[in-house]
Structure 1
Amino acid sequence: MNDENRFIDIEIKLSEQENLVDALNRTVYEQGRRIDQLEALAAKLAEHVRTLRDAGQGPLNERPPHY
């Protein structure tokens, strides 16, 4: 294999690596965004449960309908 072919192979591999890094970066970004959304939702749900509990309402103090 001559030097030119070796350089071409290296350039191809580098290009593939760059594409992979870009794809991984997009995935990490999207996962981070989704985690932020889920954390916000969890905080809202926790606040809602606290509000219901403090008001004496909600499933924490109710008997199931079959009793």
Structure 2
Amino acid sequence: MADDKEARIEKLEIDLAHALNTIDELNTVVFDQGRQLDRLNRLVTNMTDQVTELMENVLPGHQIEKPPHY
């Protein structure tokens, strides 16, 4: 009976170790994705600013129109 309890405890410890390892791996992935999202957000903001600046510098009489199929 004691051996059975020890085996169960050992299995729980092994399972816990695997779970903690998985949590650490997932945390790393989430952290890396957060950094990538921040970088992509900065790029989109910069590109939006550039497009806005280009639109403001277009000749005043020139209107950018959508093609008829829109």
The TM-score with structure 2 as length reference comes to 0.78
Greater than 6 Å deviation, 4+ residue runs: none
Matches of 1:17 and 1:3, distance apart in 2: 21
- Larger radius of gyration, structure 1 or 2? 2
Tell which has more relative contact order, 1 or 2 (C-alpha 8 A, sep 6+): 1
* Structure 2, unaligned runs of 5 or more: 65-70
How many Å apart are 1:27 and its aligned residue?
0.6
Q: Which residue of 2 aligns with 1:35?
A: 37
The TM-score with structure 1 as length reference comes to 0.81
Identity of aligned residues (%): 31
How many Å apart are 1:11 and its aligned residue?
0.3
* Structure 1, unaligned runs of 5 or more: 62-67
